[in-house]
Amino acid sequence: MADTAGRNTRPLALHVPEPRFRPGDAVSFDDLDLPAAGAVGRPPVDAAPAALRDYPYTLIRVLDPEGRAVGAWDPRLAPDRLVRMLRGMMLTRAYDDRMFRAQRQGKTSFYMKCTGEEAVAVAAAHALHRDDMCFPSYRQQGLLIARDWPLVDMMCQIYSNAGDRMKGRQLPVMYSSKEAGFFSISGNLATQYPQAVGWAMASAARGDTRIAAGWVGEGSTAEGDFHAACIFAAVYRAPVILNIVNNQWAISSFSGIAGAEATTFAARANGYGVAGLRVDGNDPLAVFAATEWAAERARGNHGPTIIEHFTYRVEAHSTSDDPSAYRPADEARAFPLGDPIERLKQHLILIGAWDEARHEALRAELVEQVRAAGREAEALGTLSGTAFNHGFETIFEDVFATMPPHLKEQSEQMAEERRVAGV
Partner 1 sequence: MTVMNMIQAINSALDVCMTRDEAVVVLGEDVGYFGGVFRATAGLQKKHGKTRVFDTPINECGIIGVAVGMATYGLRPVPEIQFADYIYPGMDQLISEAARLRYRSAGEWTCPITVRSPFGGGIFGGQTHSQSPEGIFTHVAGLKTVIPSNPYDAKGLLIAAIEDPDPVLFFEPKRIYNGPFDGHYDRPVQPWSKHGSSEVPDGHYTVPLGKAAVVRAGEAVTVLCYGTMVHVALGVAAETGIDAEIIDLRTLVPLDIETITASVEKTGRCVIVHEATRTGGFGAELSAQVQERCFHHLEAPIERVTGWDTPYPHSLEWAYFPGPVRLTQALHRVLKD
Q: Which is nearer to partner 1, 21 or 110 (CB)?
A: 110
Helices 118-127, 79-104: crossing angle, 10 deg rounding: 140
Q: Which is nearer to partner 1, 384 or 394 (CB)?
A: 394
Q: Which is nearer to partner 1, 122 or 298 (CB)?
A: 298
* CB of residue 303 to partner 1, shortest distance in Å: 16
* CB of residue 208 to partner 1, shortest distance in Å: 8
What CA–CA distance (Å, rounded) separates 190 from 247?
Answer: 16
* CB of residue 404 to partner 1, shortest distance in Å: 4
* C-alpha dihedral (170, 239, 142, 131), degrees to nearest 10: -90
What CA–CA distance (Å, rounded) separates 344 from 120?
Answer: 13
* CB of residue 201 to partner 1, shortest distance in Å: 6
* CB of residue 380 to partner 1, shortest distance in Å: 16
Strands across the sheet with 275-280, in order? 133-135, 212-217, 240-246, 305-310, 275-280
* CB of residue 213 to partner 1, shortest distance in Å: 12
Q: Which is nearer to partner 1, 135 or 254 (CB)?
A: 135
Q: Which is nearer to partner 1, 19 or 194 (CB)?
A: 194
In this structure, is the dihedral angle defined by the CA atoms of residues 12, 16, 19 and 24, taken in order, positive or negative? negative
Q: Which is nearer to partner 1, 148 or 398 (CB)?
A: 398
Max intra-chain CA distance, the chain: 78
Q: Summarize as ranges the residues that interact with partner 1 (CB under 8 A).
A: 133, 135, 165-167, 169-170, 174, 176-178, 183-184, 186-188, 191, 193-206, 212, 224-225, 227-229, 231-232, 235, 397-401, 404-406
What CA–CA distance (Å, rounded) separates 112 from 94?
Answer: 13
Beta-carbon contacts of 180 under 8 Å, excluding residues fewer than 6 positions away, are 143, 144, 147, 149
User: In what helix (H) or strand (E) does residue 155 lie, and over which residues does it extend?
Assistant: helix 151-159
